[in-house]
Amino acid sequence: MRQREWKKLKEWVAKLTFGQRHELMGELTADDEIVACVGIIENHGKPEQCPRCGSVHVVRNGSASGLQRYKCRGCSRTFNGLTGTPLARLRLKPKWLSQAEALRDGVTITKAAERLKVARSTAFRWRHRFMALPKTIQAQKLVGIAEADETFFLHSDKGQRGLDRKPRRRGGSAAKRGLSKEQIPVLVARDRSGATANFILAADGKADLVAALKPLLPLDTILCTDGSSVLAAAVKEIGVTHRPINVSAGRRVIAGVYHIQNVNAFDSRLKNWIRRFHGVATKYLDSYLGWFRTLDRSSSTGLQPASLLALAVGRQAVLN
Ligand SMILES: [Zn+2]
């Protein structure tokens, strides 16, 4: 709204009767959720540069869909706080905080669709758009004593048409016992500050483990593992100190500090959380891993839906 119109509006508001004022208040609070969303999206005020061409010559240019619109003097195009984010052009903003809340609560697509009163296809699309940025956030370096472990997820083509076998029911189980091609290896690495990284590995082999772990581990890291031969070989090649913990031999903690209890506890929280989805399509596994990391990082303080929305539009790199 232009400055002149805004001044006029305030003058009109001053003329309202008590009843009209009350009615207007009702209209405004009904919009609370959208106001909160817009506040989060426009958190940083005027963008420093155009998301399309990078020009810094950006001016205010009215508003559209409840958001401040900007015009770039460089490319002459308009944009808003959502342009260039995964939520650009998604509709139904008034439901976005409820969507963030559904993500916080880790509800299934069916439950999310019921809560938000949207189609399942919308609930599905929103989930993946909301997780597009958070799933890219993970620890880039571990410090001090770190722990690494491999965990496995059943390969799944869930949701795909034309399966060459009977679909599994409610996630199901592998046709073969133990490790096989049906199991997708995921490396979980974590340090004692809680910094965590996950890697979906193409194969459970040394080369893939080295590629994932090496950038993560400064040379003075001490890495604790379960002592599996493939992890041991990878750690040897990376050149950091290795503390294998042979849990099956009854040794759980060495020298009071070397153990893999943090990474094991993370794995079991992850497995327990993911069970509700009754199997996760392998092509979306990274989204689910990122979603869980986001939730788990702030479990002690409880994640606010507003923080999740801010993460989804890239307004907040670090959680509360
Ligand atoms: Zn531009």
The predicted-structure confidence for 66-121, as pLDDT tens digits, reads as follows 788 999 999 999 998 888 889 888 877 778 888 999 998 999 999 999 999 999 99
How much distance in Å is there from the Cα of 71 to the middle of ligand 1? 8
Alpha helices (H) along 140-253:
206-213, 229-238
How much distance in Å is there from the Cα of 317 to the middle of ligand 1? 25
pTM (two decimals): 0.80
For residue range 108-126, list pLDDT tens digits in order.
Answer: 999 999 999 999 999 999 9
For residue 47, which of 24, 78, 14, 5 has the smallest C-alpha distance?
78
> What is the spatial distance between Cα 185 and Cα 36, in angstroms, rounded to a whole number?
40
The number of beta carbons lying within 10 Å of the beta carbon of residue 221 is 21
How much distance in Å is there from the Cα of 60 to the middle of ligand 1? 13
Q: Which amino acid is at 7?
A: K
Domains (range + CATH), the chain: 140-280 (3.30.420)
How much distance in Å is there from the Cα of 70 to the middle of ligand 1? 10
Looking at residue 150, its pLDDT comes to 94
**Cβ neighbours for 264, distance < 8 A, ≥ 6 positions apart:** 149
Cα dihedral sign for 28, 87, 274, 235?
negative
Least confident of 25-29, 172-176, 314-318: 172-176
Q: Which amino acid is at 231?
A: L
Given a contact cutoff of 8 angstroms between Cβ atoms, the answer to whether 273 and 292 are in contact is yes
